[in-house]
Structure 1
Amino acid sequence: MDKELLETSLGLVDEAEDGLTTRFYEILFERYPSVRPMFSTDTAPQAKMLREAIIAVLDHLDDSAWLSNTLGALGAKHASFGVTAPMYDAVAECMIAAMEEIGGAQWTSAMTSAWLEALGAVASLMMAGATEESVAV
Structure 2
Amino acid sequence: MNKELLMAGLALADTDEGLITRFYEILFERHPAVRPMFSADVRPQAAMLRVAVIAVLDHLDDPAWLTSTLGALGAKHATYGATPEMFDAVAECLVAAMAERGGAAWTPEMTAAWSEALGVVAGLMLAGYPAPQPV
TM range (shorter): over 0.9
Answer with 7-16 or 30-39: which moved more.
7-16
User: Does residue 1:9 correspond to 2:9, yes or no?
Assistant: yes
Query: Identical aligned pairs, as a percentage?
Result: 67
More helix by share: 1
Q: Distance in 2 between matches of 1:119 and 1:71?
A: 12
For residue 110 of structure 1, report the CA deviation from its aligned partner.
0.1
Aligned counterparts, 1:70-85, within 5 A:
70-85=69-84
Aligned counterparts, 1:67-106, within 5 A:
67-106=66-105
Tell me the alpha carbon deviations over residues 82-128 of structure 1, each in whole angstroms, 9 at most, x when there is no partner: 00000000000000110010001000000000000000000000000
Number of equivalences: 133
User: Does residue 1:127 correspond to 2:117, yes or no?
Assistant: no
**TM-score between the two structures when normalised by the length of structure 2:** 0.95
Unaligned runs of 5+ in 2: none
For residue 131 of structure 1, report the CA deviation from its aligned partner.
3.5
For residue 15 of structure 1, report the CA deviation from its aligned partner.
3.1
The list of structure 1 runs, each at least 4 consecutive aligned residues, that deviate by more than 6 angstroms after superposition, is: none
Q: 3-state SS of the aligned residue for 2:115?
A: helix
Alpha carbon RMSD of aligned pairs, Å? 1.1
